[in-house]
Amino acid sequence: MRQLRVIGIGAGDPEHVTIQGIRALNRTDVFFVIEKGAQDLVALRREITARYVEPNHRHRVCEISDPRRDREAGAYREAVEDWRARRADLWSLLLASELGEQESGAFLVWGDPSLYDSTIAVLEEILARGTFAFEYEVIPGISSVHALTARHRVPLNRVGGAVQITTGRRLAQYGFPAEADDVVVMLDANCSFTRLLGEELEIFWGAYLGTEDEILISGPLRDVAEEIEQRRGDARRQKGWIMDTYLLRRPS
Ligand SMILES: C[S@@+](CC[C@H](N)C(=O)[O-])C[C@H]1O[C@@H](n2cnc3c(N)ncnc32)[C@H](O)[C@@H]1O
């Protein structure tokens, strides 16, 4: 039976890769690398295989161009489902042609595979179709949320408290969740925190966490929002892409 691994590789620093991850890398015959356009991200995955895969371990790398996702579509959920289905079509063809019956393959997933990543869902969709069989396991990774809290040296939750993880889109649509005190925001292309300047909040913001371009800013939201927006815009223009995450916290 073909074996697949979904390996969390951490959020940008090659040293985020765990010992479990390194062992899994060294049991893999074919690495499937998803090409999403940002070359730095593909480069990190290459660096990880170059750094941790033993020189005498024979392996192949198969790069997959990601199908285009319609980001303008009004119905977000339907657009994501359509994109996943097209990924499943493409991946099942590639897996069938690139992976021998007795071989193992791996997907190197940014951060942790359980957090805003569709690899597990796409593999489940392929299995549900019943046309291509394999077994798979998931190796956890350091998520950008944990890279963020570590770099700011803050706990994610407060004593006995709950934490909500959400997206920029939801924050913009619904505002700061009424029941929450601590909210992590990911996938925010529009600095949605600028809509909350009327609220008493603290922000811990990080971009390119774990990389040499890392930027960290924290403070009362009202005081630092403009600086974050400015630095974010400049960095994005300079590099051509940005990944940022932040924790919003009501004062205790
Ligand atoms: C598609 S999600 C993938 C999350 C990933 N699975 C994880 O565990 O962090 C991409 C989002 O993660 C966040 N992110 C990932 N890597 C990051 C980094 N190095 N610095 C800041 N934010 C990051 C950003 O919010 C970005 O929009």
**Model confidence pLDDT, tens digit, residues 179-228:** 888 999 999 999 999 999 999 999 999 999 999 999 999 999 999 999 99
Identify the residues whose C-beta falls under 6 Å from ligand 1: 11-12, 110-112, 115-117, 143-144, 186-187, 206-210, 243-245
Nearest to 144, CA basis, from 211, 92, 94? 211
Which amino acid residue places its CA nearest to atom 27 of ligand 1? 187
Residue labelled with tokens 């909040």: 201
Token couple for 59: 């392996």
Q: Are the C-beta atoms of residues 228 and 193 closer than 8 Å to each other?
A: yes
Task: Give this prediction's pTM.
Answer: 0.93
Candidate from 138, 243, 247 with most ligand 1 atoms within 8 A of CB, to mutate:
243
pLDDT in tens, 31-51: 998 876 666 677 888 889 999
Between the CA of 148 and the centroid of ligand 1 the distance, in Å, is 10
- Band of pLDDT at residue 73, cut at 50, 70 and 90: low
Token couple for 90: 């493409």
pLDDT score of 179: 86
The pLDDT of 59-80, averaged and rounded, is 77
Question: From edge to edge, which strands make up the β-sheet containing 60-65?
Answer: 60-65, 30-35, 104-109, 3-8, 135-139
Index of the ligand 1 atom closest to the CA of residue 143: 8
pLDDT score of 249: 97
β-strand 202-207 against 244-249: which pairing, if any? antiparallel
Between the CA of 153 and the centroid of ligand 1 the distance, in Å, is 18
Residue 163 CB contacts under 8 Å (≥ 6 apart), including other chains: 156, 157, 180, 182, 183, 184
Index of the ligand 1 atom closest to the CA of residue 214: 20
pLDDT score of 65: 80
pLDDT score of 141: 98
pLDDT score of 216: 98
pLDDT score of 5: 97
Nearest to 152, CA basis, from 210, 231, 229? 210
Between the CA of 186 and the centroid of ligand 1 the distance, in Å, is 7
Between the CA of 103 and the centroid of ligand 1 the distance, in Å, is 30
Q: Are the C-beta atoms of residues 192 and 203 closer than 8 Å to each other?
A: no
Residue labelled with tokens 């319609």: 70
